[in-house]
Amino acid sequence: MSTREEILKQLRQNARETYDMPQLDHLKPISYADPIAEFIQKTTTTAGAKVVELKEGEQLNDVIQSIANALPSCGGGGAPIIASNLPGVEAQINPDTVAEAQELMKVDVGVIEGHIGVAENACIWIPQTMKEKAICFASEQLIIVLRRDAIVSNMHEAYERIAASKKYFQQYKFGTFISGPSKTADIESALVYGAQAARGVTVLLRSSIDNLR
């Protein structure tokens, strides 16, 4: 018997009273008449991120470059260092071709693709689609490209899509939800941005008919 099993056995033996799991069938996940509008509202308020909508006729790369150049410079001035492996996005660093993850520590702006947006909490599902997933956390600023038709009302729907999709976890066994910039107030109750990941997040919403090229 392993140490883990021994500990669990002792806990069960010393449990004075047990309870059955409650029935949750009567609880219905929250649903919105307009998930996109709710997602935008939650993202710009609760999550503390920015939302930019790609307008008809605009080129994705042009908008990304414009957003990146307007973000606070993290490299001491000059043009920002952009990292991305998305097709058509002009970047100085590719997370698929770097020798090691440490190279992404100098990135000013990371550009990644979100696959599912959740309206109830402004979370975005980011599966690992690059060799070095550190781009999601080491970048000073993060731009997440998200399709409008990929936004759902709640986490139940999001997990159903993840479970039903065969494209996730085939090459890389990692995925995460990101909601706004990294922030903490654990130390002296002072709110600090960028403590564990990006200092700022911009969600770039694109239509369901355009593509990354």
- What is the enclosing helix (H) or strand (E) of 177? strand 175-178
**For 159-181, what is each residue's pLDDT tens digit?**
999 999 988 998 999 999 999 99
Residue 23 placed within a domain: no
Residue 51 placed within a domain: yes
Mean pLDDT of 2-13: 89
Number of domains in the chain: 1
38: which residues sit within 8 A by CB, 6+ positions away? 32, 119, 120, 153
Residue 11 placed within a domain: no
Residue 4 placed within a domain: no
**For 97-150, what is each residue's pLDDT tens digit?**
999 999 999 999 999 999 999 999 999 999 999 999 999 999 999 999 999 999
Residue 19 placed within a domain: no
Residue 164 placed within a domain: yes
Full domain range(s) for residue 40 = 30-206
Longest dimension (CA), the chain: 67
pTM of the model: 0.84
Residues 213 and 165: their CA atoms lie apart, in Å, by: 23
Residue 116 placed within a domain: yes
**For 10-50, what is each residue's pLDDT tens digit?**
888 888 787 888 887 788 899 999 999 999 999 999 999 99
